Amino acid sequence: MSGRVLVVTGTGTGVGKTVVTAAVAALALARGARVAVLKPAQTGVGPGEPGDLADVARLVPGVTGRELARYPDPLAPATAARRAGVAPVTPGEAARAATDLAADHDLVIVEGAGGLLVRLDDDGTLADVAAALDVPVLVVAAAGLGTLNHTALTTEALRTRGLECAGVVVGAWPAEPDLAAECNLADLPVVTGVPLLGAVPDGAGVLAPDEFLRVARHTLAAELGGEWHTPKP
């Protein structure tokens, strides 16, 4: 494996994983890197329908996308595969696909489905993919009330498994944040013990590619290729 691999997970469903994945990819591509995004399992999407990789490709022209399997039911991959009567993608298969992509890409981003411990098959999760690859995991979190607990649980699960957490990004920062969201910017690094690496605005996923790149640059931190700084409390 020659290229770098980054696993992206969320504290749950609908927190902005795909948009954050696209933002990280956009910044890397703008630096001249060869970038691939791997989606081991896409759920809730039928044959021929656009999934998460279609969103990434629209936002980041030039990125390589690879999807290993898709299941029509909007459920955990292991459950959705069982209901569809097909074999699930195993963590080992996902890790091998990432390794293959890394052979001719500078950065491979593996985007999970749901949270860190959602099952890909009956025996393994996205955490097992990260462990097999021995790569860091970027956690995408919600902005508002309740996110401190969810994010702390996710980062604690990573530490328990001996996995590196690259940091936390808020995946859908509201245009008019409430008190909880504002306080969470300062509190997230404290309760998780890892850096806050950005807050991508809600609605960024509908932008044109040039504008999306500009937003990514201003809302992700230098560790992810951007220029964002955590606001002072």
Q: What is the CATH number of the domain that holds 129?
A: 3.40.50.300
**In this predicted structure, what is the pLDDT of residue 111?**
97
Q: What secondary structure letter does DSSP report for 117? A: T
230 found inside a domain: no
Q: Is 232 a catalytic residue?
A: no
**In this predicted structure, what is the pLDDT of residue 110?**
98
CB atoms within 10 A of CB 77: 27
29 found inside a domain: yes
Of 39, 70, 105, 119, which one is the catalytic site residue? Answer: 39
Average pLDDT over residues 20-38: 98
Residue 170 domain boundaries: 4-224
**In this predicted structure, what is the pLDDT of residue 233?**
55
DSSP 37-76: EEES-EES--TTS--HHHHHHHHSTT-EEEE--EESSSS-
Average pLDDT over residues 135-160: 97
Structural domains counted in the chain: 1
d(CA 8, CA 35): 14
229 found inside a domain: no
pLDDT, averaged across the chain:
95
**In this predicted structure, what is the pLDDT of residue 230?**
74
210 found inside a domain: yes
d(CA 87, CA 71): 11
> Collapsing DSSP states into helix, strand and coil, what is residue 208?
coil
**In this predicted structure, what is the pLDDT of residue 68?**
97
Q: Is pLDDT of 14 > 70?
A: yes
105 found inside a domain: yes
232 found inside a domain: no
Q: Is pLDDT of 13 > 60?
A: yes
61 found inside a domain: yes
Q: What secondary structure letter does DSSP report for 146? A: T
**In this predicted structure, what is the pLDDT of residue 48?**
83
The per-residue pLDDT for range 82-116, each reduced to its tens digit, is: 999 999 999 999 999 999 999 999 999 999 998 99
186 found inside a domain: yes
pTM metric for this prediction:
0.95
